[in-house]
């Protein structure tokens, strides 16, 4: 009798383990499908449905509040990473570009084309973070940077058409030491932990835009907000290359709609203070 009970108990544990494994697998499958569907919408379907006119900018109310909170961090990061001799911008103008990209990255073409997807977006964004916590290299919010971009920044690398420039760009607040992080997967996990923190995400974004300035200087092209937006989105700065890239063209068209919002955040208070 005891032997029979032991066998039954062992079988029951096996059944419970199998059921748990199935549930876990289904969860990851659902997450994978959500990520694939989101990427398909963002990169292919939604841009195809987008109208030629600039879309009406949408800012989720809680994100608008978050941006007001982040305003000092944006201004400080812009002052650290703007290179006026290259950008031709004041620090406040550079801060507008940082804010502009944050606003634009909070939602994509998919949410513009199908507003009901706005309710799904936070789940999609959280799913990408979870994948990166396992060593993935998906872009994560609020700045929509990939860990691989963060790694290039920390390695002082600026990719150009014929190689890589070495330009040291300090990331204020980063606690990472690449020498002790081991392999690339461990580095992606650690960088994800930093670029998902709003203040550090702002700092990494501004640092990446500083790299865009060096790329523009190297290629001898003038700098505008479009130059930096195309660099952030597609890693290109040359105007001809931007025009020839449909993804960059769509990105800039949508980004332009957020210019009044970004300028209002950064510049309005300065005008009021005067």
163: three-class secondary structure by DSSP: strand
Up-side HSE of residue 122: CA atoms within 13 Å toward CB?
A: 4
| Residue 60, pLDDT score | 85
Average confidence score pLDDT of the chain? 83
Partner residues linked to 145 by β-bridges: 140
Averaged pLDDT, 252-274: 83
For residues 158 and 107, is the Cβ–Cβ distance under 8 A? no
Q: What is the pTM of this model?
A: 0.78
Reference 68, options 222, 265, 206; nearest CA is 265
| Residue 190, pLDDT score | 96
Please report which confidence band the pLDDT of residue 273 belongs to, taking 50, 70 and 90 as the band edges.
very low
Reference 102, options 82, 131, 73, 81; nearest CA is 73
**Using CB atoms within 10 A of its CB, is residue 175 exposed (0-12), middle (13-18) or buried (19+)?**
exposed
Q: What gap in Å lies between CA 104 and CA 252, rounded to an integer? A: 10
Query: What is the Cα gyration radius of the chain?
Result: 22
| Residue 3, pLDDT score | 55
Please write the tens of the pLDDT for every residue from 102-149.
999 986 555 655 566 666 666 666 778 788 888 899 999 899 999 999
Q: What gap in Å lies between CA 111 and CA 107, rounded to an integer? A: 6
201 vs 42 pLDDT, higher one: 201
């Amino acid at each position: 009798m005891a032997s029979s009970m032991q066998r039954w108990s062992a079988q029951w544990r096996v059944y419970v383990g199998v059921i748990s494994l199935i549930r876990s697998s289904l969860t990851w499958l659902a997450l994978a499908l959500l990520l694939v569907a989101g990427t398909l919408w963002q990169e292919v379907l939604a841009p195809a449905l987008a109208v030629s006119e600039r879309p009406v900018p949408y800012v989720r109310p809680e994100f608008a509040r978050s941006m007001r909170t982040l305003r000092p961090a944006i201004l400080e990061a812009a002052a650290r990473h703007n290179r006026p001799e290259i950008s031709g911008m004041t620090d406040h103008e550079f801060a507008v570009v940082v804010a502009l990209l944050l606003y634009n990255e909070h939602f994509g073409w998919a949410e513009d084309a199908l507003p009901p997807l706005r309710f799904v977006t936070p789940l999609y964004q959280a799913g990408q973070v979870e994948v990166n916590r396992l060593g993935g290299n998906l872009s994560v919010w609020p700045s929509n940077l990939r860990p691989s971009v963060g790694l290039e920044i920390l390695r002082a690398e600026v990719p150009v058409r014929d190689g890589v420039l070495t330009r040291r760009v300090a990331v204020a607040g980063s606690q990472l030491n690449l020498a002790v992080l081991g392999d690339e997967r461990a580095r992606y996990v650690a960088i994800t932990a930093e670029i998902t923190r709003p203040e550090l995400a702002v700092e990494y974004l501004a640092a990446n835009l500083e790299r865009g300035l060096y790329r523009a200087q190297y290629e001898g092209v003038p700098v505008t907000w479009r130059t930096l937006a195309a660099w952030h989105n597609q890693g290109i700065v040359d105007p001809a290359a931007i025009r020839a890239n449909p993804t960059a063209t769509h990105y800039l068209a949508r980004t332009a709609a957020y210019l009044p919002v970004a300028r209002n955040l950064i510049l309005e208070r300065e005008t009021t203070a005067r």
